[in-house]
Amino acid sequence: MEGIIKREFIIKGLHCANCAAKMEGRIKEIDGIHNASIDFVGKRLVLEYQNVSDGERIIGEVKDTIDKIEEGVEIVERKIAPIVEEEEDNEINIEILKLLGALAIYVAAIIFKSNGLIRLCMFVAAYILSGWEVILGALKNISKGQLFDENFLMTIATIGAFAMGEYPEAVAVMIFFNIGEIFQDIAVDRSRRSIKSLMNIRPDHANLVVGKTVEQVSPEEVRIGDIILVKPGERVPLDGTVVKGEASMDTVALTGESVPRMVKPGDHVLSGFIAKDKMITVRVDKEYSQSTVAKILDLVENAALKKAPTENFITKFAKVYTPIVVFTALGIALVPTMVYGFNTFSQWIYRALIFLVVSCPCALVVSIPLSFFGGIGGASKKGILVKGSNYLEALNNIHTVVFDKTGTLTEGVFKVNEIINEGEFDAEAVLKYAATAESFSDHPIALSIREAYGKDIDSSVIKYHEDITGKGIRVKTESGEILVGNEKLMEAEGVSYRKVEANDTIVHIAVEGKYAGYILISDKIKKDSADTVKALKEAGIKNVVMLTGDNKTTAIKVKEELNLDEVHYELLPHEKVEMLEKIKREKKEKGNIVFVGDGINDAPVLTMADIGVAMGGLGSDAAIEASDIVIMTDEPSKLIEGIKIAAFTRKIVWQNIILALGVKLAVLIMGALGFANMWEAVFADVGVALLAVLNATRIIKNQ
């Protein structure tokens, strides 16, 4: 939306995923906020609002909202935020020391049995040392009216156990609750760093040539036209053109491909490439903010903000889960007591306290976003950029895959096979007229015609040039009008032409209204196209379709060679959009429509599809802009890899949902029946959360 202001903040001191979900919900309710999203894994808050004048008021209200939910949490605008990992490591170390001290006092109290008062004091000391921050947080939350906070519920549960004389159990629950929280924080932090390491492609510095010296500077300081050196083993810091030297480039960080790429003067190199063997000199073509690396990192980081339906469901579920469990606990404490008598009160209170310990949905709120973030990070490592968790999840429910032909299923590298002349025109003249007409075009077919002609073209003879979308080109020269294009162009201009059936692309040429002949141009099917179509069908995808502007004969040949279900040919760009609309209308079963194209000529179709996949996006701004998923290479088989990553991510997500809800439900039932104690309750809370986080890390390790 035009006029929307977007600001990004780093969040410091936020360790509670459930609190993050609450913050996001409350911030969205602030007047003037257009949208807000908290990425707990990436520790980021993104705010969108419309009026510049509301900015300071909104930021103030956001800070107040965050403070009410979890005091001590800070937000710092990203451009000025310092690195906080080391500070947080120190915080965790202090917490570990406190818990070790509490554990030592607790063990001493268990062993020391002679004096009841001293023993009680030792238990109280261990309890306060291990749970002081939990208790303090609970008191603050009570003053803010937040009774469904984990700190408050854990405090009530353990104080309740103290009141019942269960001192060892109350202290043990608090100690092991905090131990579990620390392990969970460490696991989440390591997972976060592992995911970031998957995309560790940001260059540290640039070797800037200044006169006869070389200075090591930040990539952000380099400007377009500057000359930089890239030494063996270094990353290319900015997109540019090689002006001196030859080197073998490792492109695996961007493309996922291990085969090195040779570059020489005149070749383009992208930031993120690594020079393997020799030094090259590069002229910078783009500033760092517009470089390939910057765009990829921005895309991957922002992907976590576009949440999958499963994530949104878990957030909504978390809002009702805790109140339901707490009120059920209240019912367990009061109703049976009224039925069976007050002498059973302590028994039912204990069972109710178990419910309170199990009432936090942290296992789900932490592990589900972490799973999706891991899947997105893993996909990016393989050269598949997914713009959001919603698109990653959508890959699990595909009904139809629609491919563009040229450059997607075929190589898009054309070659003139044959020139057929007619009437007074010879073959060389036909080729010359075609090359002259195509002299301003960058289309692959135009390039193949000019390459076949192989001579310099005097484009100054062209007085008028018109690109007729979906048909061809009309130019006017000193010697007359030239038409170069398909059958539709000849028919539209009233030119009598020869109808030809051929497996190649047919380009007709007419000069001054007279038919001069045609050129046959071939394109080769990519080596992995057939395997991709086969794998899609084996994956249960109902319909694999191809759209092309090419002629019927060529289209049918590709269809038969690749075993496609449908092919639609001789389509103009707007007709491809209409055909995709028709495919969506006629789809009888549920499922997503995926369109795979080159991201440039197919932008409208990419936008219309449920999932738009742009292939060959390496260095293409248009591809990154128009699509939902960008495949950085020209291999259609990468789509299969993306689907497999999506399937594995979904598997982990559902394992965590079943694990968390299953264990919590089992402990709740056992607690209500009197078969569980607080130890099981603590495991169902922090233990399950830790297991879910560790399970989520399998996605990262799988990459």
Residues carrying an active site annotation = 404
H or E segment and range at residue 283? strand 280-284
Q: Which residue in 112, 108, 158 sits closest to 132, CA to CA?
A: 158
Q: Which residue in 34, 42, 177 sits closest to 686, CA to CA?
A: 177
Residue type, 526: K
H or E segment and range at residue 298? helix 292-303
d(CA 473, CA 509): 10
657 to 48, 355, 369, 654, 689: CA distances (angstroms)? 31, 19, 12, 5, 11
d(CA 96, CA 179): 8
339 to 344, 347, 348, 409, 671: CA distances (angstroms)? 10, 13, 11, 73, 19
Neighbours of 645 (CB within 10 A): 26
CB 248 within 8 A of CB 280: no
E strand spans, 493-568: 505-511, 514-522, 543-547, 566-568
Q: What are phi and psi of 423, to 5 degrees?
A: 60, -130
E strand spans, 368-471: 384-386, 398-404, 415-421, 462-468
Beta bridge partners of 75: 11
Q: Strand, coil or helix: what is 323?
A: helix
Instruction: List the structure tokens of 587.
Output: 């789809």
CB 8 within 8 A of CB 46: yes
Within its chain, how far is the Cα of 664 from the centroid? 31
Instruction: List the structure tokens of 439.
Output: 């002299």
Expressed in angstroms, the distance from the first to the final Cα of the chain is 36
Neighbours of 89 (CB within 10 A): 11
